[in-house]
Amino acid sequence: MSPSTPTPDVNEPPSTPGPAESPTLDAPAASGTPAASPGAANDGVRGDEVEIESVIDPATIRRAPRYKAFFTTGALVGIVVGLCIGITWLGSPASSGVLKPGVYLTVVVLGTTTLTTLVAGALAIWADKRSLRR
pLDDT, tens digit, 9 for 90 and up, residues 87-130: 998 888 888 888 888 899 999 999 999 999 999 999 999 988 88
**Contact (CB, 8 A) for 106 and 72:** no
Domain that holds residue 98: 67-133
Decide if 87 is inside a domain.
Answer: yes
**Contact (CB, 8 A) for 70 and 64:** no
Decide if 5 is inside a domain.
Answer: no
Decide if 8 is inside a domain.
Answer: no
Residues counted in the chain: 134
pTM over 0.75: no
What contacts 67, CB < 8 A, 6 or more positions away?
A: 121, 124
Decide if 41 is inside a domain.
Answer: no
Decide if 89 is inside a domain.
Answer: yes
The number of folded domains in the chain is: 1
pLDDT, tens digit, 9 for 90 and up, residues 43-73: 555 667 777 777 777 676 667 788 899 999 9
